[in-house]
Structure 1
Amino acid sequence: MSEQLKMVGLVRFSVLTPTYYSERFSTLEETAAHLFSEDRMELRFRVFEELCLPSLLRQSDPEFDVVVLTAASMPDRYMQRLKALLAPHRNLHCRPVGTRNHYRLLRLGYDSIPAGEGSHRILFRLDDDDAVDIDFVARTKRLAAGILPLQPEGGAFVIAYNRGFYMRATLDGPEVFDAVEQAPLSAGTALVTPVGSAANPYKFNHRKLARHYSLYSDISVPSFLRTIHGDNKSDPTQKGITHQMAEEEIDGALQRHFGLTLSQLKAV
């Protein structure tokens, strides 16, 4: 069934719209000043370059596409830097967009990748400061192919990965800890939906997806790395089991599933 599944991810990288950050800023100009401030852009690039992007490039199954959605109005030096990072990779696509409705832009981003002859799409989301494990694509395809025959015709379902690690910035340096969450996170959550459907995994708050779709929650391996720092847009609270692993166990799991050591992660 895998050959019928087209897998596409979307990463937002400083998208400027009137319907995103509207709870914090009253004008588009104020939002742009925040998004494109030098300190913020350096932070976003550092974590994207050292964590998010490498996790995509390390995938054991390279047959997937990722749209990196960004603001067409982003200062040129940052736009050229982003395009230079993505250009060597045929499956990573920079999509500069204008200031339309935020959700509409997300739909256009996903739809910019042709579905080909596939019957269904696996649409996943990932923030530019988070990462997924090296077998994320292969495992998602395998799970989707197994679950799909159990669904009603035309139905859609969600695959969420609720086991992973957080890295939280503190005054004493980065703290890395394990977590098993009780609700879907944003990192790697995927919607499996028929080709032609307008749905995508950004349509609803990720923690509330089980209200709208059948949900499969996988905790077989640590699959996500989520960073907590001063520029998180959402409230990065933990609502599950945390701090169950010793540092040496975390280090071993990071090497097996993410291809980096604990010290390398803390240096990001």
Structure 2
Amino acid sequence: MRVQMLGLCRFSYLGGRGFQVMHETLEQRRAFLYDPERLARRWHWFENVTLPALLAQTDPDFTLVLMTGPDLPEPWLSQLRELVEIMPQARLALIPPMERHLDACMVAIAPHIEAGADVVGHFRQDDDDAVAIDYVHDARRDFTAMRPLWERRRRLSCDYSRGLVLKATEQGISVEPRMIYNAVAALTVYLPPDAQRSVMHFPHWKIGLSMPGVTLPAKPMFVRFLNHDNDSGAIGAGYPWEADPAGWGRLLARRFRIDLDTLERSARAFGLPGADRPRWGV
């Protein structure tokens, strides 16, 4: 059975809806998203939080669609193009502003869905979160055990619920081990290739309304990274798990290829508080 693993990563995509930070006009949103200092921070976190584990996946057989606008300013558009050249799994989708965000996301990923696949494992990869280096391997392997459940409705979610929440402020980086129900990172939605839907069509906080789901909590599989530029910064429903704080650096390096010291220095250098959002860090 062929299980295609297909991810969508939106990098400051300019369009309508789809975000919690709202603007009255497209030009206001463009000014917000394309602010040079904001883009510099976003790229830094993308390079140091998100990309390391994606480049180190133990199963390299996946596709990651990098979705942005054709007018993304330089040098960031060129840097995305360069990333596609060195990362075999990456595909660049330049999507003009569209009012309906879900339609825009489908335009981005539709050309990359394998019609011959038996199942597509869709995942949403935010550009400041991370998945563990064995996420793709496990999401493909574990589907075998979940297949009978998937065949009931030809929709299924798999939630790797154990992870770490990192918060970046002017004080540095704090680390909190959390079990989170259906966090964005490391949540897989399995659909048939002809579904004309993606992970974006099923809001993660209420995905149980749309399909059955399986929770696999055994090992840390995601990093939720909270910073000044989060769209929401809400952690989501869950609770802590016990771990030794002295081992955070080793765990982040081993499971996510993240250098905690680098993040600490960057957070202090940016010198910014958390995002001004109602539920940031909650």
TM-score, structure 2 normalization: 0.88
Q: Superposition pairs for residues 97-176 of structure 1, below 5 Å?
A: 97-100=95-98, 101-152=100-151, 155-176=154-175
Question: Are residues 32 and 107 of structure 1, via their aligned partners in 2, closer, same or farther at CA, if it must alter by over 3 Å?
Answer: same
Single out whichever of 79-88 and 148-157 deviates more from structure 2.
Answer: 148-157
Deviation at 1:156, TM superposition (A): 0.7
d(CA) in 1 for partners of 2:208 and 2:240? 22
d(CA) in 2 for partners of 1:180 and 1:21? 24
1:177 aligns with 2:176: yes
**Is the Cα–Cα contact under 8 Å of residues 161 and 215 in structure 2 kept in the other structure?**
yes
Q: Could you say which residue in structure 2 is the equivalent of 1:28? A: 26
1:86 aligns with 2:51: no
1:236 aligns with 2:234: yes
Any idea what SS the aligned residue of 2:177 has? strand
d(CA) in 2 for partners of 1:68 and 1:20? 16
Q: Superposition pairs for residues 55-94 of structure 1, below 5 Å?
A: 55-94=53-92
d(CA) in 2 for partners of 1:90 and 1:18? 30
Q: Could you say which residue in structure 2 is the equivalent of 1:201? A: 199
Any idea what SS the aligned residue of 2:252 has? helix
d(CA) in 2 for partners of 1:93 and 1:147? 29
Q: Which amino acid aligns with 2:135?
A: F
Single out whichever of 208-217 and 233-242 deviates more from structure 2.
Answer: 233-242
Aligned residues: 265
d(CA) in 2 for partners of 1:151 and 1:95? 29
Any idea what SS the aligned residue of 2:5 has? strand
**Is the Cα–Cα contact under 8 Å of residues 178 and 250 in structure 1 kept in the other structure?**
no
Question: Are residues 22 and 218 of structure 1, via their aligned partners in 2, closer, same or farther at CA, if it must alter by over 3 Å?
Answer: closer
User: Percent identity, aligned pairs only?
Assistant: 26
Q: Which string of whole-angstrom CA distances, capped at 9 and with x for unpartnered residues, describes residues 88-132 of structure 1?
A: 122101111011121111112221214052111111111000110
Any idea what SS the aligned residue of 2:185 has? coil
Q: Which amino acid aligns with 1:151?
A: W
Unpaired runs of 5+ residues, structure 1, are none
Deviation at 1:55, TM superposition (A): 1.5
Deviation at 1:261, TM superposition (A): 4.8
Q: Could you say which residue in structure 2 is the equivalent of 1:226? A: 224
Q: Could you say which residue in structure 2 is the equivalent of 1:19? A: 17
d(CA) in 2 for partners of 1:20 and 1:151? 27
d(CA) in 1 for partners of 2:83 and 2:15? 24
Deviation at 1:241, TM superposition (A): 1.6
Question: Are residues 265 and 22 of structure 1, via their aligned partners in 2, closer, same or farther at CA, if it must alter by over 3 Å?
Answer: closer
Single out whichever of 197-206 and 4-13 deviates more from structure 2.
Answer: 197-206
Deviation at 1:265, TM superposition (A): 4.7
Deviation at 1:264, TM superposition (A): 4.4
d(CA) in 2 for partners of 1:252 and 1:22? 34
d(CA) in 1 for partners of 2:45 and 2:229? 12
Deviation at 1:145, TM superposition (A): 2.1
d(CA) in 2 for partners of 1:33 and 1:259? 33
Question: Are residues 251 and 235 of structure 1, via their aligned partners in 2, closer, same or farther at CA, if it must alter by over 3 Å?
Answer: closer
Deviation at 1:188, TM superposition (A): 2.3
Unpaired runs of 5+ residues, structure 2, are 267-282
**Is the Cα–Cα contact under 8 Å of residues 21 and 31 in structure 1 kept in the other structure?**
no
